[in-house]
Amino acid sequence: MRPGDGGRDYRHALGSFATGITVVTCALPDGRRDGLTVNSFTSVSLEPPLVSWCLGVGAVSFPVFDASPHFAVNVLALDQQSLVWHFASRREDKFAEVDASAGLGGAPLLDGCVARFECRRVGRHEAGDHVIYLGEVERYARFEGEPLVHVQGRYGRLDDG
């Protein structure tokens, strides 16, 4: 089959690839902050430590991310499923009711994640209706807890059984 125009079946096929879920955040010197739910996050290189993720050019947050020299990747824990839709919907201030502190460049770091990566942007590549951002990890942290897993439209834990 051919992918067609972003058709449903093609998106379902892509959804067979299991991922974790992250919330990628950034901030600008004028105080604007933004963030969105992202599962295109991936590790690219260990030496130097590089990661990438893709942002849709139609996202409301696109101008803020595109102007920001830093971003933070917050890897969600199993009990943070409510944040998936919170950060995947368009709203005025996504951080109003969310506990977060400021990381590198002011990028919000969410409380309760299983890992986070604070990055300096080192690359930007236009790719169709998305832009691929490459970041060098300047700081990271890892915490106890189970990660949230996403596959075939479902969210949950990894079942070892």
Residue 90 interacting with ligand FMN (CB under 6 A):
yes
Sheet of 19-20, strand order: 19-20, 149-151, 154-156
- Residue among 47 and 126 whose Cβ is closer to ligand FMN: 126
Sign of CA dihedral 38, 54, 32, 100: positive
Q: Give dist(CA 36, CA 63) in Å, integer.
A: 13
Q: Give dist(CA 105, CA 103) in Å, integer.
A: 6
- Selected from 21, 26, 27, 114, the binder of ligand FMN by CB under 6 A is 21
Stretch that binds ligand FMN, among 59-67, 103-111, 118-126, 140-148 (CB under 6 A): 59-67
Find tokens 């947050």 and name the residue. Answer: 61
- Selected from 44, 50, 78, 84, the binder of ligand FMN by CB under 6 A is 84
Residue 154 interacting with ligand FMN (CB under 6 A):
no
- Selected from 59, 115, 134, 151, the binder of ligand FMN by CB under 6 A is 59
- What are the beta bridge partners of residue 70? 120
Over its C-alpha atoms, the chain yields an Rg (Å, rounded) of: 16
Site size for ligand FMN (CB under 6 A): 17
Find tokens 């849709």 and name the residue. Answer: 56
Residue 61 interacting with ligand FMN (CB under 6 A):
yes
The torsion angle over the Cα atoms of residues 27, 28, 30 and 32, rounded to 10 degrees, is -40
Tell me, residue by residue from 98 to 137, as one string, x for binding to ligand FMN by CB under 6 A and - for no binding. ----------------------------------------
Residues making contact with ligand FMN (CB under 6 A):
21, 36-40, 54-56, 59-61, 84, 88-90, 150
